[in-house]
Amino acid sequence: MSWEQTISGKIIYGPDAEVIEGYIVIDDGIIKEVHEKKTDSQLIIAPCFVNAHTHIGDSVCKDPELGETIGHYVKRDLGQLVKPPDGLKHRILNSTPRDEMIGAMKSSICDMNYTGTCAFADFREGGINGINLLKEALNSSEIEERIFARPVQTEDEDKLSAELHDLLANADGLGMSGTNDMDMSILETAREQASKHGATFAIHSGENDRSDIDKALSLDPDILIHMTHAEKQDLKKVSENDIPIVVCPRSNFITEVGMAPVTKMLDEGIKVAVGTDNVMLNSANMFSEMEMLSKIFGIDDRQVFMMCTLMGATILGLEKTGSILEGNKSKIMIINGNSNNLTGIRETISGIVRRARPDDILSVMI
Ligand SMILES: [Zn+2]
């Protein structure tokens, strides 16, 4: 028996996030119909977010010391915190019991659901064991995931090859730390294996400075993460090769690496999506990313909304996700347009991007 539901309100509709008044009909998890019609409903029906870059494995460490306190100022020194293989993050991950790791990741997945995210892409450390932990944490969750794994066997070439094969049979691709953290020959092997498996090769690049950008580009990656220090010529190359970028604004702020040139990326026609990065540094709440992109980066609200929804889905190859359209999956959030926070907003997209919060959500369907 099929299960049909009708919801009325302001609908953020289609690939251009046009706001229409009307109702949608959902049948068995699919958007069956969308109709324009005058309505008194104060509901806002929006596509769910796609969080295009996370490290939810470090959900076990949410309040690390950020650096040295000088007077009232904390001088950030996060490089050593997240750097593989001996940074604090990796030491904590290695010493945390399996059940605790899974429980912490589960909480982050539930938090993503609660805050309106229907899909995420995780850079998973810890080789095959790391993949298995995340899969256990995902057990029975409806959220869609992309797992980009990372090898641990980097000393021996044969072992590396065998491990890469194993990883790629169990994950959606590889998510590498960066070309300054690892020997290029390992990264080249990883790239080659990912291509052979038809899998995604994603890599951090240009986060602290631009010293690893050329090397990252030489690997012909499928997705670049950060590119905070990319210059015009870098973005030209990225655009020419049609490589999408995932930016992580809040992460870049807390690590004090600077502001990514997001408007320049968009000007070059690059597909730009958004991620919350390490749970250790930021909650997985995409509303916070939207507010920052709108208010601090000064990016057009509709563009911000697209980057956090459809663009993430496009980059990650998540079909029929990221927008409200007939035939798409009904991964939607119902927002209370009459909440104390949102009542009186005139421009739906701007209202949501600049000021909506998770507590304005009435329900999330994923
Ligand atoms: Zn990252």
Using one digit for the tens of pLDDT, what is the confidence trace for 72-101? 998 888 777 777 777 888 888 888 999 999
Rounded distance from Cα 88 to ligand 1 centre (Å) = 15
Round to whole Å and give the CA distance between 34 and 25.
6
Rounded distance from Cα 94 to ligand 1 centre (Å) = 18
Rounded distance from Cα 18 to ligand 1 centre (Å) = 32
Do residues 106 and 278 make contact, with C-beta atoms less than 8 angstroms apart?
Answer: no
Band of the pLDDT at 140, cuts 50, 70, 90?
Answer: confident
Rounded distance from Cα 103 to ligand 1 centre (Å) = 21
Rounded distance from Cα 355 to ligand 1 centre (Å) = 26
For 270, phi then psi, to 5°, come to -80, 140
- The pLDDT value recorded for residue 1 is 56
- The pLDDT value recorded for residue 75 is 87
Mean pLDDT on 58-65:
89
Rounded distance from Cα 35 to ligand 1 centre (Å) = 40
Structural domains in the chain, CATH included, are: 4-48+322-365 (2.30.40.10), 49-316 (3.20.20.140)
CA 79, 80, 85, 90 torsion-angle sign: negative
- The pLDDT value recorded for residue 93 is 81
- The pLDDT value recorded for residue 90 is 80
- The pLDDT value recorded for residue 88 is 81
What's the pLDDT tens digit per position in 288-305?
999 999 999 999 999 999
From 363, 311, 361, select the one nearest 341 (Cα to Cα). 361
- The pLDDT value recorded for residue 79 is 72
Mean pLDDT on 191-220:
97
- AA identity, residue 62: K
Q: Average pLDDT, whole number, for the chain?
A: 95
Rounded distance from Cα 6 to ligand 1 centre (Å) = 39
Rounded distance from Cα 53 to ligand 1 centre (Å) = 6
- The pLDDT value recorded for residue 98 is 94
Distance of alpha carbon 293 from the chain centroid? 14
N-terminal to C-terminal alpha carbon distance within the chain: 20
Rounded distance from Cα 181 to ligand 1 centre (Å) = 13
Rounded distance from Cα 192 to ligand 1 centre (Å) = 22
